[in-house]
Structure 1
Amino acid sequence: MRLSFSKIILIAGVLLGSVSLSAYAQSSVTLYGIVDAGLLYTSKSLNSATGQNAGHQFQMITGGMTPSLFGLKGAEDLGSGVRAIFDLESGIDMSNGGFNDSNGNFFGRKAWVGIASHYGTVKAGLQESPFVASLIATDGRNVSYFGSGAPIYINTVLVTGVFNANAISYTSPTIAGLQGSAMLALGGIAGDFQAGRQYSASLNYTYGPLLVSAAMYSGNAGGTAASTPVPSTVPFSGRTIGASYQFSDLTVKAQYMNLKVAGSFDKRVYSGGLRYQFTPAVGADAGAWYTSDGNDTHNHSILAATGVTYSLSKATLLYAQVGFVDNYGLMDTGLSINGALFGVSGKTFGTAVGIRHLF
């Protein structure tokens, strides 16, 4: 039976379309995000012009417990256990619809593409450092944006290490409980390799409910990332070691963090915390952080906080948090990343209540 030229073209089109559909069926793109809005009260606040106490404050904030953000992530199956992956993520200010909780750019939280396989994962682009990932894993209150190690970190080095531009990283598979990760961020300045250069590495050990994590970070000032709206190349070196252990509904964490900023503080932070899940809907946590300046121990602070969450559904929860910080000398530890990042001398009490939804 002879086929006309038009029928041949039609059959070829159908076959090619089937191949294309089959290829696209192995790819996926997911829209995800967090929206978190709350009310913050602190008994003292910083007057940025004088450095003195400006009195108590009461305000709406974005990200009272976690950052508000949205992103697109995807993967394509390339066969033989190999996948192409990517993630684009932007911070959101829930109070005015602008940018927040990022380096100030549109996709200022993440903008990377990579390859994942049985041999590990390689990523290239704007990404989190292994040092920050280690801090997140063992923080006493899961790096809540209010009353945790997160305000101490951001207060000291802003978003350096959190959002690393021009970065290439490798994360190994887990072998006998051990997993390593390394990152190099290039400064991007011709003729000056050291300007803006950042590198970081971590090693995690997992044994059942136990996690032990250690990491380091080293970064220089300058480079192309220095032009981001929120500085991301503060020159500092960082070290951390921490552990987490889960006893059924109770999780206990302890951590040591050192943030040594060139020409400034040498912060040594000792912390611990716990979380207990009373019911599937109700959980509570508490933690304490002691920060001392290695250059002058008269500069130190004590931060303590506790919080309760109530889940309305798998995606939506209400939270209430109470915190206290006492600053001595030149230490300026604040209670909240958003709204109270820098504190004043003496004792400050604060609370944050709000709602968070995941999508």
Structure 2
Amino acid sequence: MSRTALLHELVALLPQPSVVLRDRGRWIVAANPDRLVIRRGPDSLDVIDELTSGWWAGWLTYEAGHDVEPVVANPARRRPWPGGDETEEADAVWARFPSRVELPDDGEPVVLGDGQSAAYHAELIAEAAGRASRDTAPWRRRSATPPDGDHDAGPLNPSNITWRSSLSEVDYGLNIRRILEYIRAGTCYQTNLTRTLWTTDDIDPAAIFHELLDHHPAQYGSLIRLDGTTIVSGSPEQLVRQFGRWVQTRPIKGTDSDPQRLMSSTKDHAENVMIVDMARNDLGRVSEYGTVRVPSLFALEPHPGLFHLVSTVVGETSPGTSRSDVIRALFPAASITGAPKPRVMQIIEDLEPWKRGVYCGSVGWIDADHDSMDLSVAIRTFVERDG
């Protein structure tokens, strides 16, 4: 029985609310939180200071970053779904789980925690293992891909889904030209313009997760179901990892299907250096002087169908620095804003008609008892809301 087969069955059995997170050579699975903390609007990042004990998982929206950089709100900008009301989406959602299961790539599943919650997770593992050992058909054939194995004919093929965009091709092109004018005028060096694709088609988010697990596994893959929202992410990018005073960020800039072309790209290397300089500056705001280093620059990392240029920036936080201080220093990620961050966040606010929401925000876990956390940049992310 493979770890992937076991994880497929665990996901099928999980109740709501629950979380599934990929984290450094292991999967973390947790259900039935005993506390849920939700914040909307200004000062949403303050919620991090309330996570004072236990193991938490959740997310921050991109707009939570407006607490960090001053942005004049665009009143015409709306939440990222058709007819989205301003009060419907929370900017910070975090759940505390008394127990969790860790599935290492090498080794047996481990239940962390005690009491009834731990017993429940142990039973969940046993049932999932039994189902995985009995069922020889891949999970994806039950959830997404037709029995004949024709993946292109499956309901998750983008060509079989009616997608709509928050920006038309014409408007997108016009906004690109405006950004180029800003660059020529010296207002900014780079602005990351995005658009949202949405659909009203009936799609099972768990089926998307199963497909990603089988065909596009990501370093920060996740399936989170909290507060009436389901998030499926295939992110490869780390926002921040912290253990005690040691802190790390790993920005990605540079993407290509051809590794040789990527390694010889002057443009991609220039972008990567720009974002690394921003990350050094951001991390330097909360680190002891002289501790910020770049141990790895332009590392070529393979991912399904793509290669990325990834750099690593580390530091040692100053005494008295809190987790929220660290997050505020780095959030939102420079790789999904551009430079300089305060100015381009205002440009994004002015040009993008829909708020980004969870997309370009952050997803991950915080262990308050062991002073550690690991958060991703929520790119390549799907969001479904109940109703």
Q: TM-score, normalised by structure 1?
A: 0.24
Larger strand share, 1 or 2: 1
* TM-score, length basis structure 2: 0.23
Structure label with greater radius of gyration: 1
Specify which structure has the higher proportion of helix: 2
Report which structure shows greater RCO (CA 8 Å, sep ≥6). Answer: 2
